[in-house]
């Protein structure tokens, strides 16, 4: 397993690296969080540990951007923060917020417990789906389009495509997609869904400007199109 560590403090970064290694992770330290977010599809990790000072106003936005890219666990370490900020970060997508001072032993135990709880969707127990010339294989997390080479999907891409393919022809509202894919309810985030739809279309659609598999119902949501090749 790999962990992504963002910590601007050298001494604390060294301590956190050891803790993550004790939890079973290979640690990749970064200095530019925005760049890591942009490169996430090419360099994913199972865990993200972010250490930021209280005055960093962009923290909630950065957490939201990361959550839009991945289902991986997100932990933040900070000074004691107001309840409103704590709630904001959790709603943005953080799984665990640690306040200083913290115990190294307790942090290690909390990381291990979090990883047990967020082991991920049991893809191996889901059936293979075949719809409209697409074959979705949950065990490998791949999709095959018209007998071409299988294409690997991220967890989010898989959840989205699986949700759409199990409701062929049914319009799924954006808020429902957020709940199915990201696992939380509420008004949802249209930008998260729109970005994920775009990435998935890049992988499966012959022409992204004229999609044939994933179609948009303006103002409502998306649906998987039922058709046969040649129609």
Looking at the whole model, is its pTM more than 0.85? Answer: no
DSSP alpha helix (H) spans, the chain: 10-22, 33-38, 59-69, 83-92, 104-117, 155-165, 174-182, 190-204
Q: How is residue 82 annotated by DSSP?
A: -
Q: pLDDT tens, 94-112?
A: 889 998 899 999 999 999 8
Which helix (DSSP H) or strand (DSSP E) does residue 49 occupy? Answer: strand 47-51
According to the model, what pLDDT value does residue 56 have?
60
CATH 3.40.50.2300 spans which residues of the chain?
Answer: 2-117
Cα 126 from Cα 159, distance rounded (Å): 11
The domain defined by 2-117 folds into: Rossmann fold (3.40.50)
pLDDT tier, 119 (very low <50, low <70, confident <90, very high otherwise):
low
Quick check: 221 and 177 in contact, CB under 8 A?
yes
CATH 1.10.10.10 spans which residues of the chain?
Answer: 123-224
How many residues comprise the chain? 231
pLDDT tier, 229 (very low <50, low <70, confident <90, very high otherwise):
low
Has residue 215 got a pLDDT over 90? yes
From 201, 196, 199, 198, select the one nearest 212 (Cα to Cα).
Answer: 201
Q: At 145, is the secondary structure helix, strand, or coil? A: strand
> What is the rounded average pLDDT for all residues in the chain?
85
pLDDT tier, 187 (very low <50, low <70, confident <90, very high otherwise):
very low
Q: What is the mean pLDDT of residues 221-226?
A: 92
Count the Cβ atoms, other than its own, within 10 Å of residue 5.
21
According to the model, what pLDDT value does residue 91 have?
83
Q: What is the mean pLDDT of residues 170-198?
A: 80
As a whole number of angstroms, the longest Cα–Cα distance in the chain is: 64
Q: Which two tokens stand for residue 34?
A: 């925005």
Q: What is the mean pLDDT of residues 33-41?
A: 77
Beta strands 151-152 and 134-137: pairing type? unpaired
Quick check: 19 and 104 in contact, CB under 8 A?
yes
Cα 85 from Cα 8, distance rounded (Å): 21
* Range 123-224: architecture per CATH: Orthogonal Bundle (1.10)
Sheet holding 221-224, edge to edge: 172-173, 221-224, 214-217
According to the model, what pLDDT value does residue 46 have?
84
Q: At 172, is the secondary structure helix, strand, or coil? A: strand
pLDDT tier, 68 (very low <50, low <70, confident <90, very high otherwise):
confident
From 187, 199, 200, 197, select the one nearest 217 (Cα to Cα).
Answer: 197
């Amino acid at each position: 397993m790999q962990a992504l560590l963002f910590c601007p403090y050298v001494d604390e970064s060294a301590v956190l690296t050891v803790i993550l290694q004790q939890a079973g992770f290979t640690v990749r330290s970064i200095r530019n969080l925005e760049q890591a977010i942009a490169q996430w599809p090419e360099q994913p990790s199972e865990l993200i540990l972010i250490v930021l000072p209280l005055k960093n106003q962009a923290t909630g936005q950065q957490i939201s951007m990361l959550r839009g890219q991945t289902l991986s666990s997100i932990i933040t370490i900070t000074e004691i923060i107001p309840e409103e900020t704590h709630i904001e970060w959790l709603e943005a997508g953080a799984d665990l917020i640690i306040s200083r001072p913290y115990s190294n032993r307790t942090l290690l135990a909390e990381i291990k417990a979090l990883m047990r709880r967020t082991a991920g969707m049991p893809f191996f127990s889901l059936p293979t789906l075949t719809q409209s010339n697409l074959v979705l294989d949950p065990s490998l997390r791949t999709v095959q389009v018209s007998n071409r080479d299988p294409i690997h999907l991220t967890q989010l891409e898989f959840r989205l495509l699986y949700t759409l393919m199990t409701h062929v022809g049914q319009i799924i509202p954006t808020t429902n997609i957020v709940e199915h894919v990201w696992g939380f309810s509420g008004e949802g985030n249209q930008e998260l869904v729109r970005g994920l739809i775009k990435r998935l279309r890049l992988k499966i659609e012959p022409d992204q400007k004229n999609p044939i598999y994933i179609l948009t119902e303006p103002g409502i949501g998306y649906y998987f199109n039922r058709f046969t090749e040649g129609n």
